[in-house]
Amino acid sequence: MGFYIFSYFCAFIFLAAVACRVYRQLTLPVHLRWEIYPVQHEPTDKLVHGGSYMEDLNWWEKKLKSSLFNELKYMAPEILLLRGLWKENRSLWWVSFPFHFGLYLMIATFALLILHALLVLGGGEAYVAGGVIGALLGGLIVFMGWTGLILGVVGSFGTLFRRLADPALRAYSSFPDYFNILLVSFFFLSAFIACLLVDPLLIGAKAYVFGLLTGGRSLNAYAPAESVFGGAAILLASALAAYVPLTHMSHMFMKFFFYHKIKWDDAPNLRGGGIEDDILKNLRLKPTWNAKHIAADGRKSWADLASSAPKETK
């Protein structure tokens, strides 16, 4: 039961940390524009050269076009295959890609394990007894799990090696950087050994996830602590889920904000529009910058300061 309690606790931390991060981003004030081109939601005729609507004569008189298809066409290989890294830093890609893709496959395997548990709960004995869906799902779980574990082991130890071997990376790495990679590496390694030695068909994993959904009622009476490596994998996976959103590794999902709220945020401020309302709110904020030329006193608003001329030079 201790394993389950630990997993529930970690899941709670995960959800709370993700919620905090996302909530904070959503409640930040609208900022000045700072996009970088190409902006991937531009229509194809612009996107091919990295152009924007500002290339058009009197663009404000036209309806702005945007392409969700182009955006998805970019995002899918960027997220799944780390296309940016492939383009900009190929030698790192060879270790970073298996590292990340291994993690994605673990998440996907976990999702399939939940699906499996739900089917068992919904379909009961009939589903467990067999059938095409059960066999397909079981096969997929084994395939994804194993591929993810192999890629993960290669990628995480490769990343660790790169960080240690490359003097430029080593010079900027501190304890948490190594700790993070080690945590992931040990998870992959323990899960890999557990599967290799005692659970090649991921039956134990299925049982544990079923147990997670049923308050500790394990399928097939599986007890994770029976296998040291299996137990370690469960503990490390749970800890990792709680830990990732607390660290810079949250870039895995925070990348959304980097792209949509900054790099591609080209929404113009049109008179009477929603952005204008937000700006007006911001202009009422009262800064306290101390340099004399700013002349802030905590009472004057941004609008006051921006419409005044600097009296002092410094």
Partner 1 sequence: MKKHLKPSDMAMSADCLCPIESGDLSPLPFPYEDFNSRTISPLNPEKVKNLETSLDNTLAVGIPKPASKEEEEVLIRQFLCGLKKLFEKENNWTFLQQLLLSMEHCAKCQTCSEACPVYEMSGKKDIYRPMFRAEVLRRIYNKYLKPGGKITARLTGGIDLNWTTVARLAELSYRCTLCRRCAMACPIGVDNGLITHEIRKLFSQEMGISPKELHEKGTIQHLRVGSSTGMNPLGAKDSIEFIQEEMEEITGYKVEIPWDVEGADILLIHNAGEIISWPENVGAFAIIFQAAGLSWTLSSETAGYDAVNYGVWYDDVQLSRVALRHADIARRLKVKKIVVGECGHAHKALIETADRILTGEINIPRESALVTLEDIVLGGKLQLDPRRNDFPVTLHDPCNYVRLMGIVEPQRRILRKIAPRFREMTPHGVDNYCCGGGSGFAIMSGYNFAEWRNLVSSRKKFLQILNAFENESQAAPKYVCAPCSNCKGAIRDILSYYHAGERSSLYYGGLVELIVNAMESMKKPIIHFGDQPSWT
| Least distance CB 196 / partner 1 (angstroms) | 30
Spatial neighbors of 159 by CB under 8 A, at least 6 apart, are 95, 96, 99, 181
- Please, where are the H alpha helices in 82-166? 83-88, 90-123, 125-128, 132-165
Among 12, 65, 269, 274, binds partner 1 (CB under 8 A): 269
| Least distance CB 109 / partner 1 (angstroms) | 24
| Least distance CB 276 / partner 1 (angstroms) | 5
| Least distance CB 268 / partner 1 (angstroms) | 6
Question: Rule CB under 8 A: is residue 67 a binding residue for partner 1?
Answer: no
Question: Rule CB under 8 A: is residue 274 a binding residue for partner 1?
Answer: no
Nearest to 144 by CA among 98, 115, 119, 110: 110
- Count CA within 13 A, CB hemisphere, residue 1: 1
Among 121, 130, 274, 288, binds partner 1 (CB under 8 A): 288
Question: Rule CB under 8 A: is residue 310 a binding residue for partner 1?
Answer: yes
Nearer to partner 1, 168 or 221 (CB): 168
Question: Rule CB under 8 A: is residue 257 a binding residue for partner 1?
Answer: yes
Nearest to 154 by CA among 197, 195, 96, 200: 96
Angle formed at CA 158 by CA 79 and CA 249, multiple of 5 degrees: 45
Site residues for partner 1, 91-110, by CB under 8 A, read 92, 96
User: Is the separation of the CB atoms in 134 and 128 below 8 Å?
Assistant: yes
Question: Rule CB under 8 A: is residue 39 a binding residue for partner 1?
Answer: yes
Among 67, 147, 214, 250, binds partner 1 (CB under 8 A): 250
Question: Euclidean distance between the first and final Cα of the chain, in Å?
Answer: 65
| Least distance CB 98 / partner 1 (angstroms) | 15
Nearer to partner 1, 217 or 284 (CB): 284
Among 11, 13, 22, 30, binds partner 1 (CB under 8 A): 30
| Least distance CB 237 / partner 1 (angstroms) | 21
Question: Rule CB under 8 A: is residue 263 a binding residue for partner 1?
Answer: yes
Question: Rule CB under 8 A: is residue 268 a binding residue for partner 1?
Answer: yes
Question: Rule CB under 8 A: is residue 286 a binding residue for partner 1?
Answer: yes
Q: How far apart, in whole angstroms, are the C-alpha atoms of residue 259 and residue 238?
A: 29
Q: What single DSSP character describes residue 241?
A: H
Question: Rule CB under 8 A: is residue 59 a binding residue for partner 1?
Answer: yes
Q: In whole angstroms, what separates CA 122 from the centre of its chain?
A: 31
Region near partner 1 per CB under 8 A, out of 84-92, 136-144, 191-199, 228-236: 84-92
A 10 A CB-CB count for 101 gives: 18
Among 13, 43, 52, 186, binds partner 1 (CB under 8 A): 52
A 10 A CB-CB count for 145 gives: 25
Query: Helix axis angle, 228-243 relative to 175-197, nearest 10°?
Result: 140
User: Is the separation of the CB atoms in 178 and 163 below 8 Å?
Assistant: yes
Question: Rule CB under 8 A: is residue 60 a binding residue for partner 1?
Answer: yes
Q: How far apart, in whole angstroms, are the C-alpha atoms of residue 166 and residue 176?
A: 17
| Least distance CB 189 / partner 1 (angstroms) | 21
Question: Rule CB under 8 A: is residue 309 a binding residue for partner 1?
Answer: yes
Q: In whole angstroms, what separates CA 166 from the centre of its chain?
A: 26
Site residues for partner 1, 141-200, by CB under 8 A, read 167-169, 171-177
